[in-house]
A and B are shown apart, each in its own frame.
Chain A
Amino acid sequence: MAMHKAWITLGCVGVLATGLLACSESEQKVSAEKAGDGSNTIELAEFPERPYWGDTHLHTDNSVDAFGFGTRLGPEEALRFARGEEVIATTGAKTQLARPLDFLVIADHSDALGATRQLYDAPRWYINWILRDETILRWYDMMHESPEQSARAIGELIAAAASGDIPEAFANDEGADARTEDIWNTQLSILDRYNEPGVFSAIAGYEWTAMPDGNNLHRVVMFRDGSDKTRQTFPFPGIDTEAPQLWEYMRAYEKDTGGRVLAIPHNGNLSNGLMFQMTMEDGSPMTAEYAALRAWAEPVIEVTQIKGDGETHPLLSPNDEMAGFGVLGWEKGNLDLSQKTEPGMYAGSYARSALKRGLTLEQQLGVNPYAFGMIGSTDSHTSLATGDEDNFWGKHTGNEQSYTDRSMKVQNLGTREGRFGWHYLAGGYAAAWARGNTRAEIFDAFARREVYATTGPRMTVRVFGGHGFTSADWDGDWVRKGYSEGVPMGGELDDTGTAPSFMISVLKDPDGANLDRVQVIKGWLDASGEMQEQIYNVAWGDANTRQIIDGKLAPVGDTVNREDASYTNTIGAAELRTTWTDPNYRAGQRAFYYVRVLEIPTPRWTLFDAVRFGVTLSEEAMADAVAQERAYTSPIWLKPRS
């Protein structure tokens, strides 16, 4: 018996010795091209020619919650998967994206980075006799007991973080800095190895995870630079810090390194009105300095992701019959559902109302703090950046596809009730109009807001705003004209005293569903300073049979077969484009215009699950199992001439 064990051990040592030999050359060698920001590495187009697709919000097993939820895939697998390689998911099945992504930002939580893995790997006696913390010991035992118990432990941990009740040993974890530094530097090396100018941009970032009282104020921090600069910084903690401190950190990074960084707020829908306030964090009136710093730091927000869609709420936009996508469940309360949401909070939670608030604040302060563009991303905690409805791998490993009844399971964080699996969306993607695929070009598209959000499909949406665009422009080099005589999405137009016009071109996802309609959403301040909004249907499919009656466009129809989760492209259009001039322009108005594109109805992931796994959806879930996926562009702002 003893001899037997000794042989096994010897075998292990043998394996290790082999590893040691191969390991003798341990310095990472990556070419300068791959390790930098990609400038001067590839030939760039004169103008952006195509949108590049990416996810700026992906968690790996380094995230404190992702590991606890069971994920055992790290940054390397995450990058391989995003580049289109086949990967084996934590729960065992092979999986692959139908189409590769062009860029990826790994955005692990800066707080307690790698902590759950370290906790999990620690000997129990250490937790029990040295740390002497009953809560941590309980979580430790739950993590080791079963995947379900582990997920529950992490739910408790998130709730504790939200309420400020994190155990002392976790909050003042003396190994945290060294561990974070180690993980950050390792990650930067892995990103460099997978970064390939012209093919795939592996972009550095992390998530700043502040959530006072469970109100979600999270931001993804995204860097333009290669590891020569990003190694000089360190993920900024979200616990006990506020957004202005994050912005100061960002400013210091740029000053110290000459690099560039931006922050992307997300899940304002779970902030109970705190994400886009009319005041500063402490409730005092907003200053111009604050507004300017915020506008500089946060040019883009993530408007749609797995934890719901934050474009607008039906109560905020009662005349928008397409409002409310991805709102069910999420509208009830803040992130951990520790506080219910009152209707009065919505205006500070959703993007459209925030854009309108920005106009008011700009009128008062001379600076618009909420002049942001919009993207989608996943916020997946599985290392798998899946955004397609027919290949959804869950919010975290505790609801990967192996858990076939995930759609009907209670999926609340912590122990409170209210949200079910089917409330989750399959996740969105970010589209960036860049001149080529490098870190610098992708980042710059974000910085100038020439980006847009989709709820997963890859439709090509192009918008130019200007004065005097006409339908005849489509016959010529309209892209050149758009750039030279107007501004693309994300840009600002001077109010010249005439109505602005827009060139809007939408191509369907080539491998996806047809288009239902293209809408322009206008927000403005009226003569008395009141915030207003209006939806214009500007182009739609089957135009010969569909009309606008009482301001509402006739529905496109529905081809979805609920029995087999299929649809047909026999309705709608493959391409829609138009030039549109604002019919209600008033000189001197502050306004923004963004484009919303709707696809024809298609099956949601819940319907695919129901068909594939034989799961019976509740009546409520079934009613939500078919949806019209969509895109939101960054706005173009009309600015009064000063």
Chain B
Amino acid sequence: MNLKLLLREPLLQFVAIGVVLFVVLTWGGTPPDPASRVIKVGGSERQKIAESWTLTMGRAPTDAELDQAVDAYVREEVLYREALRLGLDEGDAVVRRRLVSKMDLSASLAAETVEPTEEMLRAYLETNADRYVGQTAANPEVTFEQALFSSERAARNALGRGGTPGEATSLPALIKASPMRDVEARFGQQFADGLRGLSPSREWQGPLVSGFGWHLVRLTSRNAVPPDFEALRSVLANDWRTEQIAARKQRAYELLASAYRIER
């Protein structure tokens, strides 16, 4: 990773900004005081301005560009302090929204480039076993025959005769070792729910209702594959990452919120 890329790394940017802020606010003396008429542009301020320039442009400024940016900074600082002196920051919805979204975004950036280790993912699977067991249980491989009827009575009559034949249809008569997800895509939710309620058997069962009519079904097998770490790995990593981002935002917020007493 070259320096340019490194400088565009959001995490690094964030850390850099954080460190600068921390140093400035803790040891750097006073926070912006609207009453103060002194604007200091020393080495650390110039460095900060140069960093900010670099973040925006993707490269370091030339001396001339830095001088120009420092002038801009001074000018902005004057106006900023004047604005503070006039109390323009208070009760301004735009300022509020801008600051809030900036903080939220900063918290999420850090997690986006993170790659979890195998141990982390195994632990994640263990913690969320119920969810993944449920997901795989809801999507077993099924093998079944089906016959379609345009009325419930016709279906029941056929069941008495031993199942078939059904009416002519382009729906497949035999579905072989197909995940329930595919069955649901082709036959619809109502049918899939009905099929989940049946136990495998050599006999014709039903009728199950669908958007197409009434189906007799001979469900010969249903194999739910238990959740397997390797098979789930990428799903786990994606889910883990999504949760991390949400958790990070929340943690960042809670850290900040803990410094406040909230009266409701």
Q: A15-B110, A20-B11 are in contact. Are A175 and B57 (CB under 8 A)?
A: yes
The yes or no answer to B62 lying at the interface (CB within 8 A) is: no
- Flag whether B94 is at the interface (Cβ < 8 A): yes
Q: CB-nearest residue of chain B relative to A26?
A: B113
Assess the A14–B255 pair: CB atoms within 8 A: yes
Enumerate chain A residues within 8 angstroms of B31, measured Cβ to Cβ.
Answer: 1-2, 5
Interface string of A113-153 (1 = CB under 8 A from B): 00000100111111011100000000000001110000000
Asked if A25 CB lies within 8 Å of chain B CBs, one says yes
A118 and B21 contact, Cβ closer than 8 Å, known pairs A2-B30, A19-B111, A511-B211: no
> Are B26 and A193 neighbours in the complex by a CB distance under 8 Å?
no
Per-residue contact bits, chain B 154-171, to A (CB 8 Å; 1 contact, 0 not) = 000000000000001111
CB distance from A22 to the nearest CB of B (A): 5
Tell yes or no: A6 within 8 A of B by CB. Answer: yes
Bound-state CA distance A118–B105 (Å) is 13
Q: Does A620 contact B (CB under 8 A)?
A: no
B8 interfacial by beta-carbon distance below 8 Å? yes
Query: In the complex the two chains form, is A510's CB within 8 Å of B212's CB?
Result: yes
In the assembled complex, the CB of B35 is this many whole angstroms from the nearest CB of chain A, namely 13
Scan residues 1-26 of chain B and give those whose CB is less than 8 A from a CB of chain A: 4-5, 8, 11, 14-15, 18-19, 21-22, 25-26
Picked from B14, B72, B234, B238, the residue with its CB within 8 Å of the CB of A16 is B14
Are A15 and B11 interface neighbours, CB within 8 A? no
Which of A27, A102, A178 is within 8 Å of B8, CB to CB?
Answer: A178
What per-residue 1/0 map shows which CB atoms of A1-39 lie under 8 Å from chain B? 110111111111111100110110111111100100000
Task: Bits for B98-121, please: 1 = Cβ < 8 Å to A, else 0.
Answer: 100110011100111111110000
Q: Are B255 and A510 in contact (CB under 8 A)?
A: no
User: Beyond A20-B11, A23-B114, is A9–B255 a contact (Cβ under 8 Å)?
Assistant: no
Task: State whether A174 touches B186 (Cβ < 8 A).
Answer: no
Kindly state the separation between the CA atoms of A175 and B105 in the bound complex, as whole angstroms: 21
Indicate if the CB atoms of B11 and A19 lie closer than 8 Å. yes
Expressed in whole angstroms, the minimum distance between the Cβ of A506 and any Cβ of chain B is 8
Interface residues of B in 244-262 (CB under 8 A from A): 244, 248, 251-252, 255-256, 258-259
- Determine if A50 and B15 form an interchain contact, defined as CB atoms under 8 angstroms apart: no
* Bound CA–CA A475/B168 (angstroms): 8
Give the residues in chain A near B68, CB-CB below 8 Å: 129-130
Q: Is the CB of A144 within 8 A of B94?
A: yes
- In the bound complex, how far is the Cα of B242 from the Cα of A16, in angstroms? 17
Which one, B58, B117, B255, contacts A178 given CB within 8 A?
A: B58
Taking CB atoms, residues of chain B closer than 8 Å to A577 are: 170
Contacts of A175 in B (CB 8 A): 56-58
B227 located at the interface, meaning its Cβ lies under 8 Å from any Cβ of chain A in the complex: no
B18 in contact with A9 (CB, 8 Å): yes
- Which residues of the partner chain B approach A199 to less than 8 Å between Cβ atoms? 181
Residue A508, interface by CB 8 Å:
yes
Within 8 Å of chain A (Cβ to Cβ): is B87?
no
A438 at the interface (CB under 8 A from B): no
Stretch of B187-195, B197-205, B216-224 on the interface side: B187-195
Q: With the chains together, A8 CA to B252 CA distance in Å? A: 10
A7/B22 in contact, CB under 8 A: no
Chain A nearest CB from B252 CB (Å) reads 5
Per DSSP, chain B at the interface is: helix
Cβ distance B91 to chain A, nearest Cβ, rounded Å: 15
B213 at the interface (CB under 8 A from A): yes
Pairwise interchain contact A507-B170, C-beta atoms closer than 8 A? yes
- Whether the Cβ atoms of B211 and A508 lie closer than 8 Å is yes
Rounded to whole angstroms, the CA-CA distance of A124 and B242 in the bound complex is 31
CA distance A193 to B240 in the complex (A): 12
Identify which of A26, A31, A49, A474 contacts B114 (C-beta below 8 A): A26
- Taking the nearest CB of chain A, how far is it from the CB of B119, in angstroms? 12
* CB neighbours of A507 from chain B (8 A): 169-171, 212
Contact B242 A23 (CB under 8 A): no
Nearest-Cβ distance from residue A82 to partner chain B, whole angstroms: 13
Instruction: Answer whether residue A462 sits at the interface, using C-beta atoms and an 8 A cutoff.
Output: yes
**B140 smallest CB distance to A (angstroms):** 15
Task: Determine the chain B residues whose CB is within 8 A of the CB of A9 once the complex forms.
Answer: 18, 21-22, 25-26
Q: Known: A19-B11, A129-B71, A509-B211. Is A118-B56 also a contact (CB below 8 A)? A: yes
Determine if B248 and A15 form an interchain contact, defined as CB atoms under 8 angstroms apart.
yes
Chain A residues whose CB sits within 8 angstroms of the CB of B136 once the complex forms: none
Knowing A125-B76, A474-B168, A505-B170, the reply to whether A510 touches B256 (Cβ < 8 A) is: no
Q: A460 and B188: CB pair below 8 A?
A: no
- Can you list 23 A-B contacts (CB < 8 A)? A8-B259, A9-B22, A11-B256, A12-B18, A12-B22, A12-B255, A16-B14, A26-B113, A28-B115, A31-B234, A121-B105, A123-B56, A126-B69, A129-B75, A146-B94, A193-B237, A199-B181, A460-B186, A475-B168, A510-B188, A574-B213, A575-B169, A575-B171
Knowing that A11-B256, A569-B211 are A-B contacts, what are 11 other residue pairs whose CB atoms are under 8 Å apart, sorted by A's residue number?
A8-B255, A14-B255, A15-B107, A16-B15, A25-B117, A34-B234, A76-B238, A118-B56, A126-B53, A144-B98, A175-B58
Q: Which 6 A/B pairs are nearest by Cβ-Cβ distance?
A: A510-B188, A129-B72, A19-B110, A11-B255, A125-B76, A510-B211
